[in-house]
Amino acid sequence: MRAILYDVHGNLGALEAVLGDAERAGARSFLLGGDYGAFGPEPVACVARLRALGDAATWIRGNWERWQAGPAAAPETEVVQGAAAAVAAALGPDLVAELAALPTRVTIDGTLYCHASPPSDMEPIAREEDADADDQLLAGVTERRVVFGHTHVQFRRATTRGIELVNAGSVGLPFDGDTRAAYALVDDAGALQLRRVAYDVEATAGALDAVGAPWATTTAARLRAASFEL
Ligand SMILES: [Mn+2]
């Protein structure tokens, strides 16, 4: 059993809840889909907890591992730039560089894992079928299943080309109206299930409020609403 964790975003309470649920379900390996630290109150502890998984974990990077190493590429908003500066300072230059060097995609057991879509850590695969966009984003893909995250909205669907598309959702910052942590499990036969796990959302949101910076209070509000739009 493999657990698939995307978009942890520095939320240790959510991460511990998901790892507990996954280990009780029999997970022995872990696919880590990027966006590990930014926006959360505990980026260092989250990365350390994931590193403690050792050889059981396979890592790819998200847009945030790229942005925290090169914030000039990130949007010039107060929230994004504030979060980028905070997470880079917390992780330190060596860890920032190490995470930026992670691969952007990996194939395991016939499933392609990427952050937003196969060609991009930013351009998302839509929740609703869009044949033209799907064809463009899935060009050249030979795997029968593609797993991704990035939008923090958990879903699964099939395209007309017969490739199953799975958004594992966000462990630490869901935006689909459900505040519970989201992740996925896939068993050794390839059967995949989307899961949600309750945890103390208010503890994480309160820790963000205590940081006080605009990026942190905005993130706290998004966490409580389980929505990007406030
Ligand atoms: Mn993310």
pLDDT tens digits for 92-118? Answer: 999 999 999 999 999 999 999 999 999
The low-confidence residues of the chain, meaning pLDDT below 70, are none
pLDDT value for 201:
98
7 Cα–ligand 1 center, Å: 4
State both tokens at 189: 């036969």
36 Cα–ligand 1 center, Å: 8
From residue 12, how far is each of 41, 97, 184 by CA, in Å? 8, 22, 18
pLDDT value for 147:
98
Length of the chain in terms of residues written: 230
All structural domains of the chain, each given as residue ranges with its CATH number in brackets, are 2-225 (3.60.21.10)
Q: Would you call 154 helix, strand, or coil by DSSP?
A: coil
Neighbours of 104 (CB within 10 A): 19
26 Cα–ligand 1 center, Å: 26
Residue pointed to by tokens 């109206």:
177
Separation of alpha carbons 9 and 228, rounded Å: 14
151 Cα–ligand 1 center, Å: 7
